[in-house]
């Protein structure tokens, strides 16, 4: 081949390679632009005092807008949902009797229907219409928070600084009004001072809303800046909605979206239209009040627009609603009171007190701590709404009377103490579950006396346990009588799963005078998972996999107890 032709061949090959490389780079760069990036947003749910959980919800970014997947957010809030054609139906039971909220794709209005047919449906107006992508329905994060806030009457807000959504589900959480819905006030992207400035073209800007309650209605004042504009008013419809429209006006939609508790005005929702007009939807309580008239007046001196709502109060209906709210609050408190939301786990012995020691040197304190940690892990994984309290999480000595105090001060609903057994008889084997009470045989007494002997290692033990006797035990048992049924039930639920998950045979539910069960004011049990004095059981219990199986067996028992307990408690409250 001629030299010139060879050079031309090489140049062509290099050129083609470069073009292919550039094309591949362009393809790699362009791919992410074809679909907005997927991400997640942490959502922290508070269910009560010092109670709650954090879970991530699915989101995506569309330009500079953070969009939230409504299904993922509903799941995190423990709401049920299902999709219909072009719509997402959300259902809740946080209130009495509960309601459903239907969100439609490309529609700015969500429909709320109460399961109590005496309550009318509500319409929630949103600044942005929900969008759909790959069978998921999205809303901007602030609008998603506002939707759940207005619907559930609970506080749900997005913190721009931390990038976290916070939700309060412990009860209705609003005062007279909520100035900002779905945003943290101190961290808005635009300050109130900025939005209150007149627009550059002199058009009207609504900067604030105030409500003055009257015995015969309410006065709603819309503070304005800029040039005056034409306004119109549509009288209340059958559902109590008033539509107040301003031509060539604007406002900060998030700042002026408000809900109110008590009084004839329930909520005010603004909507900005593309042609420049601004409409406020004013929701009036036409069930508790007889609306006589609604009028609009322009106050030129103070540069504001004023709506006068005149009504006659339906006193009987108001009293009925107040009674319903009072009953709902009482039921809500009772439900929280009976919820099994805090479990106290007690690893026996620890520190200078090794507990029982097997022939191979296995220490009871180590076995108990491992099983308690595993049990706590199962509870945290399966029940994120349940708080786990440990009397000890490491190898330290905790006096017996202090363990009960820890349980009581943490508001525990269950107390579970984990131990390993020991006996002069090397053939003794099997798990046992104890509740507090007078011993019924010598073997139970021996176990209790061994576990109680740790008090001699406590400082000033003679004073701390002064007067302990059989009579004292009976008195303590009588004081625990309110929890005896639950303690026995819990023990019975735990015996079988422990037997299935461990290497030995369960020896049943027993009672004895364990000092660690004295003070907890809650259902309390002590689990002896096996005998370290039995060489075979000691060998098995040293195995970490066996310890985890034992912990899971105890969890399965607690799970069965919790299901029965909460079902029975809720049924009792409903009577």
Residue tagged 């998921």 (tokens): 136
Kindly state whether residues 147 and 257 are assigned to the same domain.
Answer: no
Per the structure, the complete domain to which residue 270 belongs is given by 192-313
Average of pLDDT values for 545-557? Answer: 93
pLDDT over 60 (residue 104):
yes
Average pLDDT over residues 109-117: 78
pLDDT for 543 equals 93
- Higher-confidence residue of 3 and 123: namely 123
Tell me, yes or no, whether 472 lies in a domain.
yes
Q: CA 104 to CA 86: how far, in whole Å?
A: 6
Q: Residue 51 — very low, low, confident or very high, per pLDDT cuts 50/70/90? A: confident
Residue 457 in domain = yes
pLDDT for 26 beyond 60: no
Reply yes or no on whether the pLDDT at 287 is more than 50. yes
Asked if 177 and 197 sit in the same domain, the reply is: no
Q: 161 and 62: one domain? A: yes
Tokens of 5: 């032709």
The domain spanning residue 196 has which CATH number? 2.60.40.3500
Residue 545 has pLDDT above 90, yes or no: yes
- DSSP letter at 457? G
- Which positions ≥6 away from 430 have C-beta within 8 Å? 504, 505, 506, 507, 530, 531
The answer to whether residue 285 sits within a structural domain is yes
21 falls within a domain: no
**What is the reported pLDDT for 171?**
59
pLDDT of 160: 78
**pLDDT for residue 565:** 77
**Residue 31 vs residue 260, higher pLDDT:** 260
Q: Which of 166-175, 254-263, 303-312, 521-530 has the highest mean pLDDT?
A: 303-312
Same domain for 157 and 210, yes or no, is: no
Residue 555, pLDDT score? 94
Assess if residue 434 is contained within a domain.
Answer: yes
For the cut 70, the answer to whether the pLDDT of residue 464 exceeds it is no
Length of the chain (residues): 575
Would you state the pLDDT for residue 16? 45
Q: Tell me the C-alpha distance between 212 and 214, whole Å.
A: 7
Structure tokens at 201: 């073209």
Q: What is the DSSP letter of 516?
A: G
Position 500 scores a pLDDT of 43
Question: For residue 284, with 0-12 CB atoms within 10 Å meaning exposed, 13-18 middle and 19 or more buried, which class applies?
Answer: buried
Residue 387 confidence (pLDDT): 92
* Distance between CA atoms of residues 134 and 129, nearest Å: 17
Confidence of residue 22 (pLDDT cuts 50, 70, 90): very low
pLDDT at position 459 is: 55
Final residue of a domain: which of 132, 155, 183? Answer: 183
d(CA 502, CA 305): 75
In a domain, 4, yes or no: no
User: Do residue 69 and residue 171 come from a single domain?
Assistant: yes
- 76 in a domain, yes or no? yes
294 lies in the same domain as 393: no
In the predicted model, is pLDDT for residue 390 greater than 90? yes
Query: pLDDT tens digits, residue range 408-424?
Result: 888 888 889 899 988 88
Q: Is residue 478 part of a domain?
A: yes
Please provide the DSSP assignment of 311-324 as one string: EEE-HHHHHHHHHH
Judged against a pLDDT cut of 80, whether residue 184 lies above it is answered with no
Q: Is the pLDDT of residue 99 over 80?
A: yes
Of 95 and 542, more confident: 542
pLDDT of residue 27: 32
Express the helix, strand and coil content of the chain in percent, nearest 5 each.
Answer: 35, 35, 30
Contact 525, 375 (CB under 8 A): no
pLDDT score at 34: 36
Q: How many CA atoms lie within 13 A of 175 on its CB side?
A: 3
For the cut 50, the answer to whether the pLDDT of residue 179 exceeds it is: no
Mean pLDDT lowest among 61-75, 182-196, 451-465, 486-500: 182-196
Question: Which strands, in side-by-side order, build the sheet including 241-246?
Answer: 231-234, 241-246, 278-284, 265-272, 258-259
Q: For residue 71, what pLDDT band results from cuts at 50, 70 and 90?
A: very high
**pLDDT tens, 207-222?**
899 988 887 889 999 9
- Domain boundary residue, one of 183, 216, 231: 183
User: Do 139 and 212 belong to one domain?
Assistant: no
Rounded-to-integer distance, Cα 528 and Cα 517, Å: 14
CATH number, residue 546:
3.40.630.40
Rounded distance, CA 476 to CA 521, Å? 11
Mean pLDDT of 171-182: 41
Give the residue-averaged pLDDT of 138-158: 86
- pLDDT at residue 438 tops 60: no
pLDDT band at 476; cut points 50, 70, 90: very low
Cβ-in-10-Å burial (0-12, 13-18, 19+) of 255 comes to buried
Where is mean pLDDT largest: 290-304, 369-383, 506-520? 369-383
Residue-averaged pLDDT of the chain: 75
Same domain membership, residue 228 and residue 155 = no
Strand order in the sheet with 156-159: 131-133, 136-140, 65-69, 51-62, 38-48, 164-168, 156-159
Higher pLDDT, 470 or 326: 326
State whether 441 and 560 are in the same domain.
Answer: yes
Res 541: pLDDT: 93
pLDDT for position 92: 80
Does residue 279 have a pLDDT over 80?
yes
Query: Any idea what DSSP says for residue 297?
Result: E
The least confident of 98-107, 185-194, 530-539 is 185-194
Measured CA to CA, the distance from residue 207 to residue 225 in angstroms comes to 7
Examine the fold and report which residue of 121, 151, 183 is the final residue of a domain before the chain moves on: 183
pLDDT of residue 424: 86
Q: Distance between CA atoms of 209 and 511, rounded to whole angstroms?
A: 66
Query: How many separate domains does the chain show?
Result: 3
Name the β-bridge partners of 222. Answer: 209, 305
Cross-strand bridge partners of residue 295:
308
One domain, residues 196 and 235? yes
Residue 516 has pLDDT above 50, yes or no: no
Quick one: pLDDT band at residue 444, thresholds 50, 70, 90?
A: very low
Across 264-274, average pLDDT: 90
Q: Are residues 89 and 236 in the same domain?
A: no
Contact between 52 and 40 (Cβ < 8 Å): no
Q: Which of 94-98, 379-383, 564-568 has the highest mean pLDDT?
A: 379-383
- In sequence order, the 6+-apart residues with CB closer than 8 A to the CB of 241 are 123, 281, 282, 283, 284
Here the CATH number for the domain that contains residue 61 is 3.30.457.10
**Overall pTM > 0.75:** no
Instruction: Check whether 32 has a pLDDT greater than 70.
Output: no
Report pLDDT for 502. 45
Residue 267 and residue 289 in one domain: yes
- Residue 379 is predicted with a pLDDT of 94
pLDDT digits (tens, 9 = 90+) for 288-346: 888 989 999 998 888 899 999 998 866 666 666 666 666 555 545 544 556 788 999 99
* pLDDT at 373 > cutoff 90: yes
pLDDT computed for residue 357 by the predictor: 93
């Amino acid at each position: 081949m001629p030299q010139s032709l060879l050079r031309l061949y090489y140049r062509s090959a290099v050129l083609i390679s470069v073009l292919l490389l550039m094309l591949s780079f362009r393809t790699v760069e362009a791919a992410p632009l074809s679909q907005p990036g997927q991400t997640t947003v942490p959502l922290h749910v508070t269910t009560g005092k010092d109670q709650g959980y954090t879970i991530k919800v699915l989101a995506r970014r569309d330009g500079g807008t953070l969009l939230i997947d409504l299904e993922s957010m509903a799941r995190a809030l423990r709401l049920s949902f299902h999709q219909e054609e072009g719509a997402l139906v959300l259902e809740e039971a946080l209130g009495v009797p509960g309601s459903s909220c239907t969100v439609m794709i490309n529609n700015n209005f969500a429909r709320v229907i109460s399961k109590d047919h005496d309550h009318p449906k509500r319409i929630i107006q949103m600044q942005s219409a929900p969008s759909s992508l790959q069978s998921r329905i999205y809303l901007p994060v602030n609008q998603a928070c506002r939707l759940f806030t207005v619907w559930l009457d609970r506080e749900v807000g997005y913190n721009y600084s931390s990038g976290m959504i916070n939700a309060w589900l412990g009860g209705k959480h609003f005062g007279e009004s909520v100035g900002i819905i779905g945003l943290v006030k101190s961290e808005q992207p635009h300050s109130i001072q900025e939005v209150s400035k007149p627009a550059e073209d002199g058009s009207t800007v609504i900067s604030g809303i105030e409500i003055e309650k009257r015995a015969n209605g309410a006065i709603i004042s819309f503070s304005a800046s800029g040039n005056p504009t034409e306004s119109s008013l549509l009288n209340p419809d059958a559902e109590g909605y008033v539509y107040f429209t301003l031509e060539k006006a604007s406002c900060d939609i998030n700042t002026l979206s408000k809900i109110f508790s008590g009084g004839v005005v329930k909520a005010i929702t603004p909507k900005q239209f593309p042609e420049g007009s601004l409409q406020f939807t004013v929701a009036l309580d036409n069930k508790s009040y007889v609306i006589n008239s609604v009028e609009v007046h322009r106050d030129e001196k103070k540069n504001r627009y004023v709506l006068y709502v005149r009504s006659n109060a339906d006193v009987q209906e108001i009293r009925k609603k107040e009674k319903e709210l009072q009953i709902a609050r009482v039921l809500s408190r009772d439900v929280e009171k009976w919820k099994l939301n805090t479990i106290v786990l007690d690893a026996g012995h620890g520190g200078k007190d090794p507990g029982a020691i097997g022939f191979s040197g296995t220490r009871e304190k180590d076995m108990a701590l491992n099983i308690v940690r595993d049990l706590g892990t199962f509870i945290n994984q399966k029940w994120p709404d349940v708080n786990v309290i440990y009397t000890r999480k490491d190898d330290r000595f905790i006096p017996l009377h202090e363990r009960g105090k820890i349980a009581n001060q943490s508001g525990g609903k269950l107390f579970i103490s984990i131990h390993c057994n020991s006996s002069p008889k090397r053939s003794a084997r099997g798990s046992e579950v104890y509740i507090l009470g007078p011993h019924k045989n010598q073997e139970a007494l021996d176990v209790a006396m061994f576990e109680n002997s740790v008090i001699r290692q406590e400082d000033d033990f003679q004073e701390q346990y002064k007067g302990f006797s059989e009579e004292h035990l009976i008195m303590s048992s009588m004081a625990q009588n309110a929890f005896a049924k639950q303690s026995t039930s819990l023990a019975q639920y735990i015996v079988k799963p422990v037997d299935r998950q461990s290497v030995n045979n369960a020896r049943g539910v027993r009672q004895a005078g364990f000092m660690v069960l004295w003070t907890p004011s809650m259902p309390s049990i002590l689990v002896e998972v096996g005998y370290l004095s039995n060489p075979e059981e000691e060998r098995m219990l040293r195995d970490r996999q066996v310890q985890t199986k034992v912990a899971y067996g105890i969890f399965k028992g607690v799970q069965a107890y919790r299901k029965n307990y909460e079902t029975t408690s809720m049924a009792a409250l409903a009577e």
